Amino acid sequence: MTAEFFKKTKKIKKAVQAAALAAVLAASSPNALADAASVEKQGSREGINVTEINGVKCRPKTRMKTYLFMGVDNKGDVTAVESEEDSSGQCDVLQLLVIDQNANTYAIVPINRNTITAVKSLEDDGTYIATSDVQIALAHANGDGLEISCENTVDAVSNLFYGVQIDGYMALNMDAIATINHLAGGVTVTIEDDFSESDPSLQIGDTVTLTDEQAVHYVHDRMNVGDGTNECRMRRQDAYMAGLQEIFMQKASENDSFVMDAYSALGEYMVTDLSKKDCSKIAKAILKNESLGKFTIDGTTSLDYLGFDEFYPDQDSLADVVLQLFYEKL
């Protein structure tokens, strides 16, 4: 990352703060998008009776576990923000893992980093300023780059999903990609995008087992790859994650210490409230439970007045995902 990028991120953050103050005056709700869906938000899943989502009466499922995994656009060892030249980093990857302990199933929900939703604007020390509808990736850019940034992102994702309880999080920065790929022994993918400006060794049509350096370009690069959109990158990330999950689950089934060893290897690039034991339990749940696959939220993408991408989730699609994963119809 360059100092220029850090300054740009700080400018974005200040713009978010200014926009937040305006948004408070302009809207009676911190998230006007969610209001349009006619979905009652719930603060927890236990002890709640009947609610209604888009005209469907339902109640929250019990014995659910939900975890948020984040990929942060920063390099090097994870450290706290100390000056204006530092950046907390934005979340380029956000994925929910939803485990239903009653049904013995799990599902993955990718979240577009450009999703417009209610995000709290914070000082680096966590002091609250205001809330405004901005890219969800900016939630992590508000805070200390450590727990405060992660918790702010958890809060934004929870609000997007109508108050769903998130039981834990893990944030990894860019340098973790090479380590993850090395732990896997390389992930095999088919190259479908033009990488000529990013990594010429990745040729369209080739099926390759990615080296650690290639994995960084494949998973992270966006603006000079393919059509340059986040949606294009998300497709590559999905392909990589599918291959990675298969390899990691195989290794975890063969070696009881694999998950804990991976946890230790990623420590300097990671911020999490999950212990080694927690991660081991999650891996075991994935191994023994049935996969429901990926739940995608539809929506539309446009450019804001500064030229940044904005993804507006279709509220019916979002409500349908929430209903399917977190509620029982009555």
CB neighbours (10 Å) of residue 237?
Answer: 20
56-68 pLDDT, tens per residue? 899 999 999 999 9
Torsion sign, CA atoms 243, 248, 251, 252:
negative
In three-state secondary structure terms, 183 is: helix
Buried b (16+ CB within 10 A) or exposed e, 113-136: bbbbbbbbbbebeeeebbbbbbbb
From 80-89, 163-172, 208-217, the region with the lowest mean pLDDT: 80-89
Domain 3-172+274-329 class, CATH top level? alpha beta
Give the homologous superfamily in CATH for domain 175-254: LCP protein (3.40.630.190)
Q: Residue 261, CB half-sphere, CA atoms under 13 Å: how many?
A: 10
All structural domains of the chain with their residue ranges: 3-172+274-329, 175-254
pLDDT of residue 16: 45
Q: How far apart are CA 168 and CA 50, in angstroms?
A: 26
Mean pLDDT of 292-299: 96
In three-state secondary structure terms, 229 is: coil
Please enumerate in sequence order all residues whose Cβ is within 8 A of that of 183, keeping only pairs 6 or more positions apart, or say none: 248, 251, 262, 265
Mean pLDDT of 119-135: 92
pLDDT of residue 85: 53
259-282 pLDDT, tens per residue? 999 999 999 999 999 999 999 999
Q: Is the pLDDT of residue 37 over 50?
A: no
Residue, of 161 and 12, whose pLDDT is higher: 161
**Nearest-5° angle of CA 103, CA 108, CA 113?**
150
**Helix ranges (DSSP H) in 27-65:** 32-35
Tokens representing 132?
A: 């405004």
Q: Is the pLDDT of residue 69 over 70?
A: yes
127 close to 148: Cβ distance less than 8 angstroms: no
Q: How far apart are CA 94 and CA 223, in angstroms?
A: 19
157-191 pLDDT, tens per residue? 999 999 999 999 999 999 999 999 999 999 999 99
Mean pLDDT of 237-266: 94
Q: Residue 175, CB half-sphere, CA atoms under 13 Å: how many?
A: 13
Q: Is the pLDDT of residue 108 over 80?
A: yes
Q: Is the pLDDT of residue 328 over 50?
A: yes
Q: State the DSSP H helix or E strand holding residue 13, giving kind and residue range, or none if neither.
A: helix 3-26
Highest-confidence range of 46-60, 72-86, 171-185, by mean pLDDT?
A: 171-185
